Structure 1
Amino acid sequence: MTTPLHAQSSSEPSEEIERLRAQVAELGQRIDRLQEQLREAPEDRPEEGAAPAVPTASRAPAASPPGPRTAIAFKGAPEVKHSSGWSFKPRGRLMYDAGFTSVPGSPGSDEGFGNEVRRARLGVQGDIPGGFGYKFELDFAGDEVEAADAILTYETGDAEIAIGHQNNFQSLEELTSSLHTSFIERAAFTDAFGFERRIGVSASYESGLFLAQAGVFTDNFDDTDTDNRGVDGRFVVMPEFGNAQAHLGASIHYNDLGKPGDAVRYRQRPLVHFTSDRFVNTGTIGAQSELGYGLEAALISGPFHAAAEAFWQRADRPGVLADPTFFGGYAEVGYFLTAGDSRGYKGGKFDRVKPANPLGEGGIGSVQFNLRYDRLDLNDAGIVGGKQDGYYASVIWKPIDYVLFMLNYGHLNYEDAALATAGGDRSYGVDVLGVRAQIDF
């Protein structure tokens, strides 16, 4: 049995061919129209020899290079920064202190209530293109206007060079800003041994764990007529152990007084600055030069911190007179009573405390409690300047980053005091209470 075969209709292939021809003709017409549009737009025509342009539905305009930009941030005060490298920020601080001193036997001392504007500073700081920077600040507290910082800096890589009126490299306590200290005044030896800003040139190098600082200095702005010539150096190691920050440092200071017959004098107040009493005082000592060297140690671990320093200051006396070496030092511990707060640290010194829960943002700010033992011994080589042992406590409340309130109590024991009581006693105790209100920007 066979299956019949049906022949395909001869009209079907011809119809298909006609449809294809019509589609090709329509495509050719579209290409002709596109070419005509390209000829009517000569600005879009590619140069001779260039690849033909591919038409697109839309063409985005070319991006223009960004122009100079200025940004303003707020860090206690407005800080203006320009993309060219310039920046400008006003800066200042105001500290008002008050309190009482109690002295047994009334040895002609300035005891009782006292108060003062401890610091009232205004200034500016900023950057200059090329790695330069500047800081200038005047202090209006007291009877005169005095310059604090007046520095031009240059930074390159890990190094910085500073020229002008600046802190020497003596002591962790001295280099820590007065805004960030644990007590109303720094350790007794820093003031007794004459640590202060001086005019000079210095260099600092900080890389990883290490910080090295050195400089040559003359004297401060008020004593430019002296012949003082000094050299200072400091080296710090700053290791971290987990969340703990450690600090180990050493410093050396040499000051040539310059003129025959020059003299030095070492003395100190009892914790607060608003009293004029100096219960330890060497009086005037003829000297040709000074040599000082110190050791530093500190640790910050969460809410806890500890710090200690020791410093020896030798006065080189003329002729065959023995050279006295005096000693000062302190040891302190502190703890934050508010959760999440810790003492700041930056660049080999203590830095700003920033409350984890500021007032107005669901918290009360930071509350810190500190204890310190402070020693100053000005007896040596026949010089009897007295000994001072201070036992201090402080409570610091920072409601926000830039406002601080501090309460201090100190009991100081004296031996061979420069001021005797009415009964002639030179060994006695003094009690001091001091409070501070502070704002900075």
Structure 2
Amino acid sequence: MNRTVPANTVSVFRRALVAGALLCAWPVCCLADGYDFYSNWPTHVTASDGTDFGLAVLYQYDVNQFSHDNGKFDDAGTNRRRYFGLYLRKPGVYDAIAQYDFQAKQWADAFVRFRSSGVIGKDVGNFRFGYSKTPVGFEGVTSSSATTFIETALPTQAVWEGRRAGFDWALVRPHFIINIGDYFWRKDFDGNNPGSTWAGRAAWMPLNAPGKVLHLGVSASREKLDWADDGTVPPSARLRARPEDGLSPVRLVDSGNLPYSKSVNRQGFESLWIEGPWSLQGEYLKAQVDRYHGKPDYDASGFYVFTTWTLTGESRAYSDGNVADRRYNGRDLQAVRPTHAWGAVELAVRYSELDLNDGSITGGKEHDWTAGANWYLGEHLKLQTNYVWAFSDRGNLKVDPHIFEVRAQVYF
């Protein structure tokens, strides 16, 4: 197994950074009023009535190095995400997006959402149709471009359902939010995961002001699983997690396939506190798999907690019941100009734990510590580095890898 990043990987990483630098220079070459290097790139067009049309792009390049892993992991460097899409929005009335991840070869967000206040003149909530993230998993529903750590925590990976297609409604108020979704499309947009899901989320925000937030929330969903199209493969659930890296196929904890699974019930309890440059976020997640044909039911649970400190003084952004992209503020994504010319620098520490053992199923236990640093360079560039100490126990398998991770990100 490699213990250093291969020379060709380093070369690819350097080329990616050069490409990013050229991409950054592009707005300077396309000089237009109102555009500048650190903030407003010419990737969209805004009409006189406020209607905005443009590109929705997220590119991430990751490098992962492993040690103390008993030779079970390979160092790697490659693209993590390559989202490309288009969006159209009119503030206060509607927004729509269609975005595809060419790295994973699967759909990202693809939906249209209407703001009732702008459509009928009365605010009775926002109505969304299409393909979007299911709400159980506070960290999971955070935008992939806005996550504090390079990878989501152990319980988020195992319990969060991902994206599904259907309809949802959200009532957003300054001090509470209610979100209900019926994901009735039998499969996701990629033809996987046959079944349907009901989900709901509610949060109370007694404090909700820029730089001063207290968020307390609960969520729950019920996923009904279905047979494969040919009727020969029974529905099966599976809960597992990588050791908070994104490039290795190895999972140290894994329930394995659970055939004859009838449904998966998920619950989440979430909290967030922001006070100036400091923040504290935590979540408890639980999943119960109901099975039939004489198979025992299965339970799994886990939690994480992390704290952040922004050295340059900025606060984490918060909008509509979730941690927001630092580029934007508010439901209609009004741009926020950076406080410092060279952006914001953030430090973070996270502890996460996951238990996939239940009865005769030895899925394993794992807990991880992660230390991270993020550099938000203007609105569109982000550099991240994490160091993960993972500790796992799955029967006779005990592997405690250390993981060094670096990410370069371009997004607009």
Give the shorter-chain TM-score range: 0.7 to 0.9
Matched, 1:430 2:401: yes
Instruction: Measure the CA separation in 2 of the matches of 1:196 and 1:271.
Output: 17
Distance 1:129 1:250, change over 3 A: closer
160, 170, 173: which one aligns with 2:126: 160
Alignment correspondent of 1:214: 180
Q: Does structure 1 conserve the Cα–Cα contact (< 8 Å) formed by 2:140 and 2:160?
A: no
The answer to whether the Cα contact below 8 Å between 2:300 and 2:355 also exists between their aligned partners in 1 is yes
Within a 5 Å distance, the mapping from 1:108-119 to structure 2 comes to 109=72, 111-119=73-81
Letter of the 1:229 partner, please give it. Answer: S
CA deviations over 1:371-416 (Å, ceiling 9, x no partner): 0001111001321100110011001112212211111000111111
What pairs up with 1:8-157 in 2 under 5 angstroms?
75-83=40-48, 86-106=51-71, 109=72, 111-127=73-89, 131-142=93-104, 144=105, 146-157=106-117
What secondary structure does 2:139 align onto? Answer: helix
Deviations 1:311-335 (A, max 9, x none): 1100001144431210021000111
Q: Distance in 2 between matches of 1:129 and 1:227?
A: 35
Distance 1:405 1:189 in 2: 25
Tell me which of the two structures has the higher relative contact order, counting C-alpha pairs closer than 8 angstroms and 6 or more residues apart: 2
Where does residue 245 of structure 1 map in the other structure?
213
Q: Corresponding residue for 2:222?
A: 254
Q: Is the 8 A contact 1:391 1:410 kept in 2?
A: yes
Structure-1-length-normalised TM-score: 0.75
Q: CA deviation at 1:193?
A: 2.6
Does 2:356 match 1:378? yes
- Aligned residue number for residue 340 of structure 2: 357
Shift of 1:128: 5.9
Query: Is 1:414 aligned to residue 392 of structure 2?
Result: yes
Structure 1 SS opposite 2:266 = strand
Counterpart check, 1:174 vs 2:140? yes
Aligned-partner residue type, residue 210 of structure 1 = F
Identity over the aligned pairs, expressed in percent? 27
1:288 shift after superposition: 0.7
CA 1:403–1:241: 2 relative to 1, 3 Å:
closer
Give the 5 Å matches for 1:383-398: 383-398=361-376
CA distance in structure 1 between the aligned counterparts of 2:257 and 2:294, rounded to whole angstroms: 18
Q: Which of 195, 207, 229 lines up with 1:228 in the alignment?
A: 195
User: Structure 1 CA distance, aligned partners of 2:137 and 2:347?
Assistant: 22
Q: Which has the larger radius of gyration?
A: 1
Whether the 8 Å CA contact 1:376–1:388 is kept in 2: the answer is yes
Distance (whole Å) between structure 2 residues aligned to residue 247 and residue 197 of structure 1: 23
CA pair 165-317 structure 1, distance change in 2 beyond 3 A: same
Q: Give the Cα–Cα distance (whole angstroms) in 2 for the partners of residues 194 and 349 of structure 1.
A: 16
1:314 to 280, 284, 288: 288
Measured in 2, the distance between the counterparts of 1:281 and 1:162 equals: 34
How does 1:399-410 map onto structure 2 within 5 Å? 399-410=377-388
1:303–1:386: structure 2 CA closer, same or farther, 3 Å change rule?
same
Distance 1:190 1:283 in 2: 17
Tell whether the 8 Å contact from 1:194 to 1:266 is kept in structure 2 after alignment. Answer: no
5+ residue gaps, structure 1: 1-70, 360-364, 418-424
Aligned length: 352
- State the secondary structure of the residue aligned to 2:409: strand
1:267 aligned residue: 240
Which amino acid letter does the alignment assign opposite residue 107 of structure 2? A
Q: Give CA deviations for 1:231-277 in whole Å, capped at 9, x if unaligned.
A: 01000112227752111110001001033821111111111111111
- The SS at the match of 1:325 is strand
Among candidates 333, 338, 343, match of residue 316 of structure 2: 343
After the TM superposition, which of the residue ranges 83-92 and 402-411 deviates more from structure 2?
A: 83-92
Aligned partners of 2:137 and 2:159 also within 8 Å: no
1-side partners of 2:201 and 2:166: how far apart? 15
Distance 1:216 1:124 in 2: 25
Q: State the distance in 1 between where 2:352 and 2:310 align.
A: 21
Alpha carbons of structure 1 residues 408 and 154: separation in structure 2 relative to 1, 3 Å: same
Q: Identify if the C-alpha distance between structure 1 residues 316 and 76 changes in structure 2 by more than 3 Å, giving closer, same or farther.
A: farther
Deviations 1:66-106 (A, max 9, x none): xxxxx988744443233456431222111000021224433
2:164 alignment partner in structure 1:
198
List gaps (5 residues or longer) in structure 2. 1-32, 118-122, 228-232, 328-337
Take 2:70 and 2:107, find their aligned partners in 1: how far apart are those partners?
A: 39
Q: Find the counterpart in structure 2 of residue 367 from structure 1.
A: 345
For residues 137 and 87 of structure 2, the distance between their equivalents in structure 1, rounded to whole angstroms, comes to 24
Query: Does residue 1:278 correspond to 2:246, yes or no?
Result: no
Q: CA RMSD in A?
A: 2.2
Give the secondary-structure state (helix, strand or coil) at the position aligned to 1:181. coil
Q: 1:332 to 1:125 in 2, by over 3 A?
A: same
Taking the aligned partners of 1:289 and 1:197, their CA distance within structure 2 comes to 17
Aligned with 1:326: secondary structure?
A: strand
How far 1:300 moved relative to its partner? 0.6
The residue identity in structure 2 corresponding to 1:188 is: L
Q: Aligned to 2:155, what secondary structure does the other structure show?
A: helix
- Residue 282 of structure 2 contacts residue 306 of structure 2 at CA under 8 Å; is this kept in 1? yes
1:124 shift after superposition: 1.4
1:204 and 1:241, CA in 2 relative to 1: closer, same or farther beyond 3 A?
Answer: closer
TM-score (norm 2): 0.80
